[in-house]
C-alpha cells in the first residue's frame, strides 16, 4: 500500500502544500497521475523497489484508527461551524457521518458537512476565506497535538480539503494568486482557531455524541464553553511586559504566531523537496550506473544518499520546531 505522499513528485507536493489541492490537481483525486512525468517517475521507481506492477494506493486517513478518524472529521466540521458562525453566517446544521457530494464535477465522499442559510447574506471576503480553510487548519492543529503532524499526513489533510479549496479558487479575485489567497486565508483562520479552540473541540465532542447539531445548539455550546472558562483579569493595556522589556500586544502576538505557522509549512515543503529530489537522484544513478566500479560514480551516489538522509534528519528537527510553535501558541491563548 502506497500513500499519496510517496507517489507525488516534489513539484506537485510543494504546490499542493502552498496552494491547496485545487482544480489543477483534480485528476489526482481519482489517482490519475498520467499528466505529470515526475509523479510517473516516482511510481515507476516504486514498481522497481517493490518488484511488482500491482501497487495499491491507500485512501487518505486509512492509517488512522476509526475512532480517531471520526474525531478528525468532527473537528473539521466543528471548525467550519464555529468560525462561520463567528463571521455572522446563519448555520442551518452541521452533520457528522458519511456524505456524498460533487465538487467541480468530481464525486467525493466526506466525513461530514455544514449547511448554511446564505440567501441574501453579504459576506466579507476575509471572513469567508477563513471559514473555507478552517476545517483543514483545525485538522492540522489536531494532528500536531497528537504527534501526528507528518509530511504524509499533511498531504492527507490537503486531499480532504479539495472541495474547500475549489470554493476558495472560485471566490478569489483574478488579481490574487492562489498562493496569496491561501496564505491570507490560513493566517486569518489560524488566529481565529487559536481564539476559539476550546469552543471548536466542545462542538466536536457534541457531534461525536449526537452526529447532528443545528445552529442554535452550536451557539448554545459555544456560550456554555465561554461561561465555564475562567475570565482573565482586565488590564488597561493589551501590551505584555516581562523582564523589563515590552512585548507586542496580544493581537500582534497571535498574528505573528499565525505567520510563523505558515512559514514553517513552507519550510516543511522545501525540506520535503530536498529529501525527495536527493532520493530520486540517488535511485536513478544507482539504477543506471550502479554496476560501475568507478570511484566518481560511487561517490556521487553516496553523496545524494547522504543528502537524502540529512533531509530526513532536518525534517525531524522541523517537527520539533513546529511543536515549539504550538506550545508558544498555547501561551498566546492564555494571555
CA torsion through residues 300, 303, 305, 311, sign: negative
36, pLDDT greater than 70? yes
Predicted pLDDT of residue 252: 65
CATH number for region 66-228: 1.20.58.760
- Residues 139-144 have a mean pLDDT of 93
Question: What cell was used for 39?
Answer: 509523479
Give strand pairing partners of 107.
Answer: 102
pLDDT in tens, 61-74: 999 999 999 999 99
Predicted pLDDT of residue 125: 84
Backbone angles phi, psi at 290, to 5 degrees: -60, -25
76, pLDDT greater than 90? yes
- Residues 229-240 have a mean pLDDT of 45
Query: From start to end of the chain, where are the E strands?
Result: 90-103, 106-117, 212-214, 239-242, 245-249
320, pLDDT greater than 80? no
Average pLDDT, the chain: 79
Lowest mean pLDDT among 22-36, 88-102, 210-224, 265-279: 265-279
Cβ-based burial of 266 (10 A; exposed 0-12, middle 13-18, buried ≥19): middle
Pick from 41-55, 157-171, 231-245 the range whose average pLDDT is largest. Answer: 157-171
Predicted pLDDT of residue 215: 92
Pick from 41-55, 97-111, 158-172 the range whose average pLDDT is largest. Answer: 158-172
Give strand pairing partners of 109.
Answer: 100
CA dist 11 → 36, 62, 226, 276 (Å): 10, 25, 44, 10
3, pLDDT greater than 80? yes
Provide the CA 258 distance to its chain's centre, in angstroms: 13
CA torsion through residues 281, 287, 290, 294, sign: negative
| Higher per-residue confidence, 286 vs 183 | 183
- Residues 195-206 have a mean pLDDT of 95
| Higher per-residue confidence, 325 vs 127 | 127
pLDDT band at residue 192 using 50, 70 and 90 as cut-offs: very high
pLDDT band at residue 231 using 50, 70 and 90 as cut-offs: very low
Predicted pLDDT of residue 208: 96
pLDDT in tens, 235-275: 444 444 444 444 556 666 666 666 666 666 566 556 655 65
Write down the domain spans for the chain. 66-228, 250-335
Amino acid at each position: 500500500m502506497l500513500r499519496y505522499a510517496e507517489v507525488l513528485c516534489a513539484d506537485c507536493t510543494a504546490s499542493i502544500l502552498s496552494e491547496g489541492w485545487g482544480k489543477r490537481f483534480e485528476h489526482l483525486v481519482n489517482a490519475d497521475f498520467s499528466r505529470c512525468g515526475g509523479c510517473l517517475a516516482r511510481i515507476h521507481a516504486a514498481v522497481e523497489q517493490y518488484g511488482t506492477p500491482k501497487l495499491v494506493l491507500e485512501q487518505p486517513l486509512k492509517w488512522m484508527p476509526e475512532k480517531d478518524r471520526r474525531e478528525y472529521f468532527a473537528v473539521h466540521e466543528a471548525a467550519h461551524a464555529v468560525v462561520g458562525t463567528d463571521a455572522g453566517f446563519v448555520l442551518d446544521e452541521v452533520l457528522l457521518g458519511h456524505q456524498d457530494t460533487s465538487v467541480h464535477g468530481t464525486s467525493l465522499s466526506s466525513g461530514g458537512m455544514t449547511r448554511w442559510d446564505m440567501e441574501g447574506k453579504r459576506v466579507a471576503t476575509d471572513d469567508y476565506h477563513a471559514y473555507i480553510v478552517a476545517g483543514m487548519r483545525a485538522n492540522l492543529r489536531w494532528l500536531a497535538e497528537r504527534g501526528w503532524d507528518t509530511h504524509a499526513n499533511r498531504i492527507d489533510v490537503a486531499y480532504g480539503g479539495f472541495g474547500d479549496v475549489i470554493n476558495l479558487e472560485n471566490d478569489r479575485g483574478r488579481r490574487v494568486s492562489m498562493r496569496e489567497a491561501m496564505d491570507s486565508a490560513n493566517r486569518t483562520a489560524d488566529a481565529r482557531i487559536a481564539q476559539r479552540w476550546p469552543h471548536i473541540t466542545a462542538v466536536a465532542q457534541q457531534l461525536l455524541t449526537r452526529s447532528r447539531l443545528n445552529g442554535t445548539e452550536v451557539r448554545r455550546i459555544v456560550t456554555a464553553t465561554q461561561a465555564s472558562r475562567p475570565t482573565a483579569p482586565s488590564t488597561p493595556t493589551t501590551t505584555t511586559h516581562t523582564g523589563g522589556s515590552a512585548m507586542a500586544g496580544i493581537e500582534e502576538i497571535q498574528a505573528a504566531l499565525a505567520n510563523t505557522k505558515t512559514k514553517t509549512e513552507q519550510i516543511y515543503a522545501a525540506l520535503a523537496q530536498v529529501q525527495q529530489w536527493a532520493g530520486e537522484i540517488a535511485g536513478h544513478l544507482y539504477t543506471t550506473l550502479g554496476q560501475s566500479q568507478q570511484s566518481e560514480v560511487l561517490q556521487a551516489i553516496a553523496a545524494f544518499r547522504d543528502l537524502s538522509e540529512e533531509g530526513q534528519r532536518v525534517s525531524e528537527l522541523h517537527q520539533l520546531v513546529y511543536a515549539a510553535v504550538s506550545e508558544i501558541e498555547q501561551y498566546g491563548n492564555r494571555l
